[in-house]
């Protein structure tokens, strides 16, 4: 009788893993696509999220962030190699704890439409605008409420995230170059007290950091050809137009 109960218990657990895993994977993909798109202001698409409840690990097939309108490249950001370690016990708590995320060799495509317009700056502005809209207590509480209602009232805490060997391809007209970004490491995304925070806030913090490093790398790697073309055009400008253009990231030192 005892053996029968144990066997039945194993069957129930196995069945739970079999049915629950696709559900979790589908929920994660939908949430990232929905709130990621809202935060960055362009289409975010996560596909191929595969979670193993037996090991507490997950992999991401592909994640892309579309460029704003009028750019030649379809994406600002693309990655295909992500490993995730989840605290399985946290799946039944109010805060899902992600122990570690390793992102390997993502691709970032930097493109300037003109001296006053580039895709990294546009996405940064979109994130800033989203964050500003949610600063007031009422709008912030409403956003958090919507997020929690859809995913069962859970926050997210990422203890560690690393982005390694990210490639940055920069384009201005017919000129282009490629550099490798320094390793990005973030800890306790969502709070240091294990309470976590809502998904849009976590996405905004991660994307802000990655885009900040990308923008700094555009400058620090001495874009000689790209920058010389931009500066030559800048010298032909006058007055306050020239001053405004100087505020672009490519001219900051």
Mean pLDDT of 118-136: 88
Confidence of residue 103 (pLDDT cuts 50, 70, 90): very high
Mean pLDDT value across the chain? 76
What's the confidence (pLDDT) of residue 148? 47
Segment 76-87, tens digit of pLDDT: 999 988 999 988
Is pTM beyond 0.85 here?
A: no
Mean pLDDT of 169-174: 72
Residues with Cβ within 8 Å of 164's Cβ and at least 6 positions away in sequence, in order, are 102, 103, 104, 105, 183
Domain ranges of the chain: 2-219
What's the confidence (pLDDT) of residue 244? 47
What's the confidence (pLDDT) of residue 212? 94
Mean pLDDT of 117-143: 78
Q: How far is CA 85 from CA 72, 88, 103, 113, 142, in A?
A: 36, 9, 12, 39, 30
Tokens coding 190: 């969502």
User: Which comes out higher in pLDDT, residue 63 or 17?
Assistant: 63
What's the confidence (pLDDT) of residue 224? 40
What's the confidence (pLDDT) of residue 7? 47
Mean pLDDT of 174-185: 86
Confidence of residue 42 (pLDDT cuts 50, 70, 90): very high
What's the confidence (pLDDT) of residue 146? 52
Say if residue 210's pLDDT is above 90: yes
Least confident of 5-14, 48-57, 116-125, 235-244: 5-14
Say if residue 161's pLDDT is above 70: yes
Q: How far is CA 45 from CA 37, 91, 99, in A?
A: 8, 23, 23
User: Which comes out higher in pLDDT, residue 74 or 115?
Assistant: 74
User: Which comes out higher in pLDDT, residue 231 or 113?
Assistant: 113
Q: What's the maximum distance between 2 C-alpha atoms anywhere in the chain?
A: 90
What's the confidence (pLDDT) of residue 222? 59
């Amino acid at each position: 009788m005892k053996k029968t109960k144990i066997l039945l218990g194993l069957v129930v657990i196995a069945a739970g893993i079999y049915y629950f895993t696709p559900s979790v994977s589908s929920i994660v993909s939908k949430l990232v696509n929905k709130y990621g798109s809202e935060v960055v202001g362009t289409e975010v698409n996560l596909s191929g999220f595969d979670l193993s409840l037996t090991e507490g690990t997950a992999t991401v097939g592909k994640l892309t962030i579309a460029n704003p309108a009028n750019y030649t490249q379809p994406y600002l950001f693309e990655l295909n190699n992500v490993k995730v370690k989840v605290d399985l016990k946290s799946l039944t708590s109010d805060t899902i704890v992600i122990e570690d995320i390793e992102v390997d060799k993502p691709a970032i495509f930097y493109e300037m439409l003109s001296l006053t317009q580039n895709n990294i700056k546009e996405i940064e502005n979109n994130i800033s605008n989203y964050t500003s809209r949610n600063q007031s207590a009422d709008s912030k509480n409403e956003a958090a409420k919507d997020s929690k209602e859809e995913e069962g009232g859970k926050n997210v805490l990422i203890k560690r995230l690393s982005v390694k060997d990210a490639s940055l391809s920069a384009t201005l007209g017919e000129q282009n170059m490629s550099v490798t970004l320094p390793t990005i490491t973030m800890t306790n995304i969502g709070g240091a007290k294990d309470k976590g925070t809502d998904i849009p806030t976590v996405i905004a913090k991660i994307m802000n950091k990655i885009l900040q490093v990308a923008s700094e790398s555009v400058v620090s790697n001495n874009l000689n050809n790209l920058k010389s073309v931009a500066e030559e055009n800048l010298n032909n400008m006058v007055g306050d137009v020239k001053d405004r253009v100087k505020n672009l990231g490519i001219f900051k030192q």
